[in-house]
Structure 1
Amino acid sequence: MGEIMGDCQGEKIREGILKEPIEIDGKDKTLFEIKPKMFAEQLFALDLWLMKKLTIFDFLSKSKEFSVYVKQVSCVEFITEAAVKYSEKKKKAFEFFMNVAIESLELGEYNVAFMVYSAVTSQIILFCDDWEDVSKSCSEKYKDLEQIFGISNVKEYTKHFEQCKRNKVPIVANIIGIIDRCNVEKLSELKGDDYALAFASRTRLPGRVLVPLYNILKNQPVFTPEPSLQRFLGLCLNTQ
């Protein structure tokens, strides 16, 4: 994975997100010709590769490395928003990304699913007339995601996440919120285990999120990187 990203370092999307060729099984394809499940798997692989550069301490302290990760992984939202914005067939774009979000959720990739859902939501506001044209199935998938990721449905997300039996990636924005709410005085002056102990003493929530996060950081990658698709994601990461 590192070699793939290294090869495209400094390069950016040239043909536009919707026209950039992606070679799959020896044939050039464009974004919407990729199966949503495959795209979701490769977003999972990208998120995990970026995340594995971090430690739990980076998350708790919101270190410089963590800030870099947050900026890089936001390319998921960049891809979603740009693809919908510049697509002449927005119905197709909306339906593609709703399928990607659902596939991500089924894989246990809550972080990617949430980012795609959030990006689609922002585009629905901008292109509400086009959203009215999507299929009933697409609309129902959005409502299902809204039940989990809606701003007023934190308890539903927590319940859904805890019931998931797979190795799972929590919503990083949710982790940040938990850390901010802890508000431990002089936390920045503590290091290592002292930091973790002080943090844990102020809240009951971290274990629900940090244990799965720890497990996903320690486990081997779930999906094998697909070179051409990861190169495409790398170009998007450089372009955002």
Structure 2
Amino acid sequence: MDLWLTLRLDGLALLFALLITGIGALVTLYASSYLAGHGRLGSFLGQLFLFMSAMLGVVVADNLLAMFICWELTSLSSYALVGFHRERPQARRSALQALLVTVAGGQALLVGLLLLAHMGGALELSTLARQGAELRAHPLYLPALLLVLAGAFTKSAQVPFHTWLPGAMEAPTPVSAYLHSATMVKAGIYLLMRLHPALGGTASWALLLTLVGGATMLWGAARSLAEADLKRLLAYATLAVLGLLVMLLGVGPPRPCTRRS
């Protein structure tokens, strides 16, 4: 199996790239004012740009290993951003919790991606997407699916891996707005969308995504109603939206109606 660094900018990747760069530009302007005069503003912006670059790598990479490297870089850079106020014990604990959960999910994702590469004989997502029928019929389909979903669910804070997201609101407000409401938590959604042609369309896919997404949506909506803190309210509202997106990916598009003559 040859190893190539391949990039792809199709409609889905372009949509997420515009989301990352557009919101990132606005958050950068806001952060410059929010942390004006702070002694570590320069390092904060450097970490923010590292995260933005890693997210762009996730969405434009067509190679599984390149995407995984960028995937892990988002976890490492978010650790530094969440723990920016390192003088606060709670900020350090929240940063460590987010890192441990997302990195553990990343290790499961790595094994799942390697299984996919073994099953399809290729490392390119575009190639694997054309082999969906063969992959879904492979004996290793279910283990690969579970491992990939573990990585996607931890990154997008799905139940029961959701606890790190409200805690990560200890980060400065620009971080909460960018990483945990707009971009980082969408990485798991992007991965599920990208792998849908290769892994979707089965009963296992539909059941797992519908149940987990539905539970996350209901839990996030219920908890947001009981919150008075605006940042935690944002976190639980984000959970509800993420759960809705995952559930819709599990339900899939409506089937065309057939007329009986």
Q: Pick the TM interval, shorter chain.
A: 0.3 to 0.5
The structure in which a higher percent of residues are helix is: 2
Give the TM-score taking structure 2 as reference length. Answer: 0.31
If the length of structure 1 is used for normalisation, what is the TM-score?
0.33
The higher relative CO (CA closer than 8 Å, separation ≥ 6) is in 1
